[in-house]
Structure 1
């Protein structure tokens, strides 16, 4: 059991600049990328995900009705780090098994953000659905009124746990 973290650490040191699957226990994993990504599967802890670089977004959401301050990793940055620069298909799944298809342009042109923090505080992980954590895919609705549509709202998945890339 003790060899695995050391092996994972050595593996990540061998590939500088590559997206690093976490060496943490499975219980620390908050997001799994599967499919057409480097190594076939990548698990991210909160720390590993945020290490990709935090962006900030202040926007009104259809569910909160007031400006909220989100921090997280852009979907575009996550996909680049995973080696999936131009995916043909993205399927997102929540903790409750809700699934939705994301459009490739959500990453590139639509500014989707995988929010890990709300008002500077990590979003709660295993509490209530209304907490929407640990990850919530949000869009810049205040800056881009053209994204205020039922189709985009449907893709704004909270309690995100997995993205299948095809």
Structure 2
């Protein structure tokens, strides 16, 4: 019998009840082929998960940056996601399909901070899918650039 990890239990216990003053608002909805779907996470929920930091350049910023967030594969594994494609949707309705293999092959993160500062909704935040393009020449390709979803708001696993 397979038991859910403590992180999965934490994630799955996230409520969709109305917010109480001082609570962190929801920032990411995850639906589709999950053990218990849908799941809605706040920034505080994401920050309570194991942290990953990577340094890389991007095609939309100058120079190298240090991104902090959660490994996408860990997030999806802890939610017991089963599928081949993750459809990522941004606040501006940008939608892209990302193969699940990207998360298995590379340390892709859902970033909530860049260079130590929280990602602002006015500039790529509050969440941004970030690839470690600096570490892999194959990621320095326009096909992967389209998968860097800033202002990420929803994931749907199929």
TM-score in terms of structure 2 length:
0.86
Q: Are positions 1:83 and 2:80 aligned together?
A: yes
Aligned pairs (5 A) from 1:1-166: 17=6, 18=9, 19-23=11-15, 25=18, 28-84=25-81, 86-125=82-121, 128=122, 131-166=123-158
Give the total of aligned pairs: 147
Task: Report the RMSD for the aligned CA atoms in angstroms.
Answer: 1.8
Give unpaired runs (5+ residues) of structure 1: 1-14
TM-score in terms of structure 1 length:
0.82
Task: Say if 2:84 and 2:101, in contact at 8 Å, map to a contact too.
Answer: no
Deviation at 1:38, TM superposition (A): 2.2
Give unpaired runs (5+ residues) of structure 2: none
Deviation at 1:22, TM superposition (A): 2.8
CA deviation profile, 1:43-82 (whole Å, cap 9, x unmatched): 0000101212110001111111300010000110110111
Deviation at 1:158, TM superposition (A): 0.4
Quote the Cα distance in structure 1 between the aligned partners of 2:152 and 2:109. Answer: 12
Rate the CA distance shift 1:16–1:65 in 2: closer, same or farther, 3 A. Answer: closer
**Structure 1 range deviating more: 49-58 or 24-33:** 24-33
More helix by share: 1
Task: Say if 1:21 and 1:43, in contact at 8 Å, map to a contact too.
Answer: no
SS at match of 1:155: coil
Deviation at 1:111, TM superposition (A): 1.8
Quote the Cα distance in structure 2 between the aligned partners of 1:28 and 1:16. Answer: 24
Quote the Cα distance in structure 1 between the aligned partners of 2:5 and 2:58. Answer: 37
